[in-house]
Amino acid sequence: MNTHLSLLLVGLLSTLPAIAGADTLERVRSSHTLTLGYLPDFAPFSSDSGGKPEGYAIELCNQVADYLRHQPGLDAVKVQFKAVSRAESITAVSSGSIDLLCTPTPQTLERRKTVSFSIPVYTAGLAAVVRQNAADDLVRVLNGETAHEGPTWRATINRGIARHTFATTAGGVTEAWIHQQVNRLGVVVNLISVSNDADGVRQVAQGNADAFFSERMLLKHYLSQDPDGAKLKVLNRIFDYSPTAMALPRGDEDFHLLVDSALSALYRSGEIDQAYSRYFGPPDKTLQDLHKVYALP
């Protein structure tokens, strides 16, 4: 074999792990450990309580771990939870630092370049939080109502949101959605970015922003925990729905199948509805129907 061909083969072989994906189950079998990642400040989905992870997503991940232990050679596997930041969460999956990201994450094409996703585990609803004394025009428009009586000129309709300050989490799908809506309506607003949901709620409470957009259940949670929560309210309107899922290694079909099988079993048995009820209240008819759709046969 000539030198050039040898070098070419070495180069190709060195890329095979990236193309084929990680063999997560073999790694877990060898180490006897399943490493589950989670965001520690994302209650009620995942949080730290006295150093112990808890929340809706943690319950589901523990169920996935139990399902895994019923597979050949994996009955003695131990679970290790590892807290990760929002910024490093996807990289932690793609690098093999964690085997599965429990905290539900929206799928994007950019994220799918480096990781795969399970079937959905939660349907996020985008909502807004405002101050109790927020301007009536702003509240009406954000709730999907007409800002003013009279002719429905575009300028009149949009007057309710123009020249207000909105906050959103930096780099998230919500930020892109707000930019899209503002451009579509052709209004002038001031958009500020915050590092997390707690900061967004704080900006509204302190009067630095007129509204903060985020996942409805997260907003309700922060209002119940924040000292200024009584000054704020979450509007009823859901602006957009987004199925969210657990991130796992890209290209690892065996592990992907195991995770989806475990979650589908939870859907079919109704256990996922029970877990949902413990953290969010009973799922409505729409969510119950979605849960039936999400489960794979």
Q: Are 213 and 128 in contact (CB under 8 A)?
A: yes
**pLDDT by residue (tens digit) across 17-67?**
333 346 999 999 999 999 999 999 899 999 998 879 999 999 999 999 999
What are the helix (H) ranges across the chain? 3-20, 24-31, 56-68, 89-94, 136-142, 154-158, 173-185, 197-205, 216-225, 253-269, 271-280, 285-294
Q: Which residues contact 224 (CB under 8 A, 6 or more apart)?
A: none
Cβ atoms 92, 84 nearer than 8 A: yes
Distance CA 14, CA 72 (A): 30
pLDDT for res 111 = 93
* Helix axes 216-225 and 197-205, enclosed angle (nearest 10): 60
Report which of 227, 198, 232, 229 is spatially closest to residue 214, judged by C-alpha positions. Answer: 198
3-state secondary structure of 100: strand
Q: What is the pLDDT of residues 123-138, one digit of tens each?
A: 998 899 999 999 888 8
Report pLDDT digits (tens) over 263-279.
999 999 999 999 999 99
3-state secondary structure of 48: strand
| CA–CA gap between residue 46 and residue 104 (Å, rounded) | 9
Which domains are seen in the chain, by residue range? 21-123+242-294 (3.40.190.10), 125-241 (3.40.190.10)
Is residue 96 a contact partner of residue 250, using CB atoms and an 8 Å limit?
no
Segment 220-248 shows an average pLDDT of 89
Task: Record the tokens describing residue 250, joined without a space.
Answer: 């890209």
pLDDT at 132: 95
**Look-up: residue for tokens 């006897």?**
32
The answer to whether 25 touches 64, Cβ cutoff 8 Å, is no
How confident is the prediction for the chain on average, in pLDDT? 85
Tell me the pTM: 0.78
Residue 226 confidence (pLDDT): 80
In the chain, the largest separation of any two C-alpha atoms, in whole Å, equals: 83
Taking Cα atoms as reference points, which of 181, 24, 175, 158 lies closest to residue 106? 175
Tell me the per-residue pLDDT of 235-265, one tens digit each, with 9 for 90 and over: 988 888 889 999 999 999 999 999 999 999 9
CB 39 within 8 A of CB 103: yes
Whether residue 8 has pLDDT greater than 80: no
How far is 177 from 187, CA to CA, in rounded Å? 15
Quote the CA–CA distance of 55 and 210 in Å, as a whole number: 30
With a CB cutoff of 8 Å and minimum separation 6, the contacts of 182 are 189, 191
Residue 133 tokens read as 């004394």
